[in-house]
Amino acid sequence: YDIVTKAAERESEGCANAVRTALEEASEEILQASSIEDVATRLKLCLDTIPDYITTLQTLKEDLMMAVGFTFADYDMDAYPPGPSTSLYKACRIFQSDMDDGVTKVANFFQYLSEDPAQEEGYPSLIGEEDKECFDLDVFLPDGQNARIATADWSGSGGGNDGKMWDFQLCTTLVDPIGFGPDSMFPDRKWTYEDLTKYCQSRYGEQVVPQPYALVRNLRFDDLIAAGASRILFTNGMQDMWSGGSYLESLSDSIIALNFENGAHHSDLSHVGPSQDDTEDIRQGFITITNILAKWLDEIRAEALS
């Protein structure tokens, strides 16, 4: 989330501090509220959609902040090409308004989310929600028992059955230890393996145990050279939060990292580019990648014939 914060600041200068200040103010207001019903009214949340597990103001505050965080993460991943047309920029501007207090900004943020058609794929329950006067908090819940807003993936699992499948994957072999640290614009929330395990077993049974080293053990990503790997191309959009978990430097002549300053999360090197809408680094990236892949294919053909 440090990367999300930096990307938001890059998209709209002053965003990080505006979000941080508004969320601190909103968190304090939530914890001082008289009841969950009071918070729902002030944030324009549909009271009957607040999940049953939320029984305290503390839990409500924590998971509302989580929802804001992973929605910003979604906007970060789609923030390409950079500029005022991105949802990340528009979300920043909501928090940079001088007219509203922190609670109102959070309410406006959720309202914007409900009206954003790009979010309907990840949260199918948002379809048809545009004209509602309150926000359905349960759109964030994946299918299945004991679902929570803060799922196994703190960057957001998504809602419905797709969300459940992704959530289960994060409960097994694709463990991503991410949280809100002191350098991010979101209220501190520490990720722990123990909390993940407790959540996953409440969802899928005690036989499910998260395996944080499974991919290292099975795919040897900890030492690709020793594993004999070759012809791997890591392309990193540096505005994408997931660049923080990638190889940012080449390991050999055939295990290559390419970093794109303006790139985001598979919203840049798409099948439609390069185009006039692409930034210069991405346009050059298409050329570089094409040349690398062509070279490797020629090598493979030559090897096959020898």
* C-alpha to C-alpha distances, 304 to 29, 30, 214, 299, nearest whole angstrom: 68, 66, 33, 9
* Consecutive 10-residue averages of pLDDT for the chain (306 residues): 97 98 98 98 96 98 98 94 95 96 97 85 71 89 97 94 96 95 96 98 98 92 93 96 95 96 84 85 94 97 94
Contact at 8 Å (CB) between 255 and 235? Answer: no
Please tell me the predicted confidence (pLDDT) of residue 129.
63
Contacts of 17 (CB under 8 A, 6+ apart): 185
Please tell me the predicted confidence (pLDDT) of residue 138.
92
Copy the structure tokens of residue 7. 């990307």
Please tell me the predicted confidence (pLDDT) of residue 130.
65
Please tell me the predicted confidence (pLDDT) of residue 33.
98
Please tell me the predicted confidence (pLDDT) of residue 293.
96
d(CA 182, CA 177): 16
Contact at 8 Å (CB) between 23 and 106? Answer: yes
- Tell me whether residue 266 is exposed, middle or buried, using C-beta atoms within 10 angstroms of its C-beta: 0 to 12, 13 to 18, 19 or more: middle
* C-alpha to C-alpha distances, 270 to 131, 248, 278, nearest whole angstrom: 33, 20, 10
